Amino acid sequence: MKFYDCATAPSSRLVRIFIAEKGLEIPTQEVDLRHGEHLSPEFRAINPYGTVPVLETDDGQHLTSTQGCWRYLEAAFPEPPLLGTTPADQALIADRVWRIDLDGVHAAAEALRNRSRGFKDRALTGLVPVAQIPELAERGLARTQRFLESIDGLLGDSEYIAGDSFTAADIIALVTVDFAGWLKLKLPEDAVRAQSWYEKVAARPSAAL
């Protein structure tokens, strides 16, 4: 296998943490997004979408989404389980991951990509230039703040986002909280359960990646 990564991309970090939690060592190639390496003909031959992460499997298949990478790794290396073992657990984790991706990751990306100079004409990922819309940056900030305020509710009385075990739902929630930090947003001070959860998952060795 081979992993195409970018140290600064939250999408790649989602897979880096997953790989580390599985205890795997996969050869990695850094892709320089800042200087447009992902748009080069060479990289587009690997991923026509021009995005990271990419996981190259042993049979030469290129998986170009976080979900694709996660599902392959979970099936190939079941222990420790990060996507659930029972139908109920798998469904809950998938449900939480979808919600966090939509309300958290997409919201923070909307804010960052529509206001950062580094994303001029790159407001959406992919090959086609897309102009920034300042109003979407403001909407993204508001959406991200609402997501941070919702984590207490997602946790409820559970130790982790999807129950009593660390799963992919915690990975994406952790990455989203850190991503929100780029926007100078953080968990509410009075969100006691969320603060405790964050301290615990951020202390895991994989979180340093």
pLDDT in tens, 36-46: 999 999 999 99
Residues 129 and 179 in one domain: yes
Range of the domain at 159: 87-208
Write the CB contacts of 146 (distance below 8 Å, at least 6 apart in sequence). Answer: 103, 107
- Residue 45 neighbours by CB distance under 10 Å: 9
pTM of the complete model: 0.96
Q: Give the span between the Cα atoms of 9 and 39, in whole angstroms.
A: 15
* Residue type at position 7: A
- Other Cβ atoms less than 10 A from the Cβ of 171: the count is 28
Same domain, 138 and 58: no
- All residues at 6 or more sequence positions from 14 whose CB lies less than 8 Å from its CB, including other chains: 53, 66, 70, 171, 172, 175
Max intra-chain CA distance, the chain: 50
Average of per-residue pLDDT across 167-171: 98
Q: What integer pLDDT is reported at residue 113 of this predicted model?
A: 97
Angle between helix axes 168-181 and 106-113 (nearest 10 degrees) is 20
Residue type, 159: E
Q: Which of 47, 76, 105 is the last residue of a domain?
A: 76
Which whole-number Å values give the CA distances from 128 to 123, 145, 162, in the listed order? 10, 29, 36
Residue 124 lies inside a defined structural domain of this protein: yes
* Structural tokens at position 136: 């979407």
Q: 2 Cβ partners below 8 Å, 6+ apart?
A: 26, 27, 28, 29, 55, 56
Give percent of the chain with pLDDT exceeding 70. 100
Question: What tens digit of pLDDT does each residue of 107-165 get?
Answer: 999 999 999 999 999 999 989 999 999 999 999 999 999 999 999 999 999 999 999 99
Asked whether residue 82 is domain-assigned, the answer is no
Query: Measured between alpha carbons, how far is 170 from 92 in angstroms, rounded to an integer?
Result: 12
Final residue of a structural domain among 76, 95, 130: 76
Under 8 Å between Cβ of 105 and 116:
no
Query: Same domain, yes or no, for 107 and 65?
Result: no
> Mean pLDDT, the chain, as a whole number?
97
Question: Region 20-46: what's the mean pLDDT?
Answer: 96
Number of H helices, E strands in the chain: 8, 4
What's 24's domain CATH number? Answer: 3.40.30.10
Q: Are residues 68 and 96 in the same domain?
A: no
Q: Give the pLDDT confidence score for residue 126 in this predicted structure.
A: 87
Task: Taking residues 180-194, report their average pLDDT.
Answer: 97
Give the per-residue pLDDT at 72.
98
Looking up tokens 């657990």 gives 89
pLDDT > 90? residue 65: yes
Categorize the per-residue pLDDT at 177 as very low, low, confident or very high, splitting at 50, 70 and 90. Answer: very high
